[in-house]
Amino acid sequence: MSTCAKVSQDLEEPLAGTAATARTWLLVEQPGPWGAEALTSSHLDPALGRALDRAAKGTGVRIALIRRPGRHADCRTAAERRVYAAHTTPGNVWLHSAITSDPEQLLTLDFAELGRGLSRSFDTALDGRPHDGDPLALVCTNGKRDRCCALLGRPLAAELAASGVAGAWEVTHLGGHRFSPTLLVLPFGYAYGRAEAHAVKEVLQGVREGRVVTEGCRGSSAWERPGQAAELAVRTAVREDAAGALSVVRTEGQAPDWEVTVAHTDGRHWLVSVSQGASSPPRAESCGSALGSPARMDVTAVRELSRTAATGPAPR
C-alpha cells in the first residue's frame, strides 16, 4: 500500500507555502512515547499540557515536545528538561535555551510577550539565555499522527545524530505528513520537506553562515502561507539567500487570491500574486485518510515595484 508521502512525491506536489505558521516556537523536552496530541498524551502531566495549550492560544506561540533521537525508554519522569524558545521574524530572530527540573515553571511564561518577540519572561522564569550552540534541526517523528513521520523521520533523525549533528532533535508535529521527512530549522524558522541527511547538513551550514537554502523549502513559519510562497519566489527570482534580507510587509486579498508585498532590507519591494489551487488528482493528506484535494499555493507573478509604488498604507 502506498504511503501519503510516496504519493505526494510521485505526484511532485509543490512544497512552497506549506509550512506551519508560528512567529515563536516553544520546545519542551519530553522523553518517552508520544500520542497523537502529544501535549496531553505523553508522560508530560496532561493537566499541564492542557494549561500550556490554553496559554499559547492566539499568541503566535506554537508549543511542541522534543526528544533526542534514538530508542525511547518508557521512563515516567525526566529529572531535567531542555527548553527552547525561538522567535523567527526577520529583524528580531533569536533562540534562547534553558534547563528546568520543574515543567510547571512554564506556566509562568508571558506567552503574549513571547509571541511579540520578547524573551524577557523566558529568561526570567527559566533562567534562560541565548543559545550559543549549533542550530536546531527538528525532525518530525510522531508515528501516532502519521506513520510516514515514524518510518521516514526517525531514520533521518538517527542518521543526523550519528553523524555528529549536535542540534538534532525529534519533534512531535510540524504539519504536512505527506512531505515526510519534515524538518524545521531554528533560529530562522524555515521548514523543509522530503529531507535527506546530506541536504539537511547543507541547510544547517547555511544557517551558520546566515543563509537560507531554498531547495526543498516549505517556507518560513514567520509568515502565513501566501507570504511563505511569495517570499520564496522572490528569493528564487533575485537569487537572494541572506536569511534576514526579506520580509513580508503586506498581504491583501483573501482566498483564493492574494497580493503579497515583499520588502528587501536595501529598500527594494516586490508585489507577488499568489493563488490558492486544489491539488489534483486527489490524494490523501495523511495515511489512512480519505482522498482529497489539498490546497496549494501557486505564485503567478513577481513584479518589482518602484520606490513610489512601494509606499502605501501601513503594513498589517
CA distance 90 to 244: 5
- CA-CA distances (angstroms) from residue 22 to 186, 225, 253, 256, 267? 12, 11, 21, 22, 26
Query: Each residue of 191-228: pLDDT tens digit?
Result: 999 999 999 999 999 999 999 999 999 999 999 999 99
- CA-CA distances (angstroms) from residue 165 to 26, 135, 208? 21, 9, 13
What is the pTM (predicted TM-score) of this model? Answer: 0.93
Amino acid at 160: L
Beta bridge partners of residue 168, listed in sequence order: 137
Q: What is the pLDDT of residue 146?
A: 84
Q: What is the pLDDT of residue 145?
A: 86
Query: Each residue of 115-166: pLDDT tens digit?
Result: 999 999 999 999 999 999 999 999 999 988 888 998 999 999 999 999 999 9
pLDDT at 315 over 90: no
Q: How many CB atoms lie within 10 A of CB 34?
A: 25
CA distance 141 to 158: 10
Average pLDDT over residues 105-110: 97
pLDDT at 272 over 80: yes
